[in-house]
Chain A
Amino acid sequence: MFKRNLPLAIAISFGALTLLGLLFLPDLSRLILSWAAFLAAAALLLGVLNLFAIHLQRLTKEGSLYSGILILGMTAVFGLAITDQLSITQNGVMTAFNWIQAPLEAALASLLAFFLLFAGFQTLKRQRSLWTVLFVATAVILLISQALTATTLLPDNVRDLFNAIQNNINNIIAVAGMRGLLIGIALGAITLSLRLLLGMDQPYNK
């Protein structure tokens, strides 16, 4: 019983104190949030250790080349952090970031266009429903409208028509859809947060 009640008491009390702080006592909330950030930072370090341990095991047991590369990348950055600290290297970690991480992330981010295109082309093949047809139709209409309004070859009245279609979809339907979605999400978040603060929901005791 104690094993379940102690985390419950901690969640409720820290939740209440944070709420109190956020509403009336900014210094209190700042203090608790800095503690939580510190704890989350420690959890991140444990996560990185978990990643390292899993791939080290895979490297030693299965001889996975990919895990070897991951371990190599990790140890290189940690090594550079140490040599930076000892002033053997200057900005070694930042160089690794600029030369390796930044281009790889930017490449994956720009490759998103291909992933979206692949997914878009396959949508109707993968799922056939009225909603999917509407989704694809919206995307196609908008893409065509964008292309046609950008060209000067079409007569003005045709371009105006496509412009109006685009504007109505973007500024009326999408605004309403987004607003309805966000209000719903807020309702869900509010009731779940309250259940957590009241101890009705205990994910740490699952």
Chain B
Amino acid sequence: MSGDFIGLLIGLILTLFIYSYVVGDNPLYRLSVHLLVGVSAAYSAVIVIRHIILPVANQIIQNPTERESLLWAIPLFFVLLLLLKRAPGLAWLSNNSVALLVGVGAAVALLGALTGTLWPQITAVAASDPGYQTIIIAILTVLTLLSFQFTGRFKKDGQWQRPVWQRGIVHIGRATLIITFGVLFVALLNTSLILLSSRLGYFLTQLQQQLP
């Protein structure tokens, strides 16, 4: 038996274990999910060690006095702090490492949201084909956006009230959003059905080729 055929057989068996969930939760499904979690976690760790940790370690070992190697002392120090998470009395030090990640992440996210989402989404209106469709899309976009309004005021009976100019129109925005989710749901369903049929097709083709 060739290695390819063994791999195919293992893959087919594990796939059937996963598909057994269709008839209900069962030990075979749980077993394969646990196997997946274990293998994937170890695989991620191996990749990280091979591609991130080892190159840095090699660089430091080979050229310990170089400026680039010396600079790695800073992240290594924060890694050390992270390791203190379980040390009694010193666990708070690991918050410094989390703080570094949060600070960097906030800066990346700020520019990402501003230049990668907000600006392109607004300017896309101007770049659209001129026509009644653009106007309708713009109106529905605005109504969707306004439906998220957070601040307003409380009426005498304690009911929350939107600003006057928004009342009555934002339900259209909420409806637009729900219809969008319906569209996305169907797109997801289509994609996963294609994936399912291609998965089944793959095994059928491979088995036909491998079996005499």
Contacts and interface: CB of A to CB of B under 8 A. Distances in A.
Interface of A: 3, 6-8, 10-16, 18-19, 22-23, 31-33, 35-48, 51-52, 55, 65-67, 69-78, 81, 93, 95-114, 116-117, 120, 131, 134-139, 142-143, 146, 169-187, 189-190, 192-194, 196-197, 202-205
Contacts of A102: 11
A15 B143 contact: no
A180 B189 contact: no
Contacts of B79: 38-39, 42
Given A103-B14, A142-B186, A6 B96 contact: yes
A181 B180 contact: yes
Interface residues of A, dominant DSSP: helix
A73 B45 contact: no
A12 B18 contact: no
Interface size class of B (residues with CB under 8 A): 35 or more
A75 to B, nearest CB: 8
B212 interface: no
B100 A39 contact: yes
Contact of A106 (B15, B44, B103, B182): B15
A62 B14 CA distance: 25
Given A189-B113, A204-B95, A138 B104 contact: no
Given A174-B183, A175-B137, A196-B106, A107 B111 contact: no
Nearest to A184: B148
B133 interface: yes
B96 A96 contact: no
Interface residues of B, dominant DSSP: helix
Given A33-B104, A70-B38, A204-B102, A177 B113 contact: no
Nearest to B112: A189
B121 interface: yes
B118 interface: yes
A104 B7 CA distance: 12
B196 A110 contact: yes
A185 B71 CA distance: 36
Given A10-B100, A182-B121, A197-B106, A77 B183 contact: no
Contacts of A136: 182
Interface string B109-140: 11111100110011010000000010011111
Contact of A44 (B48, B137, B138, B174): B48
Contact of A19 (B78, B107, B180, B185): B107
A66 B10 contact: no
Contacts of A66: 30-31, 34
A72 B118 contact: no
A19 B114 CA distance: 12
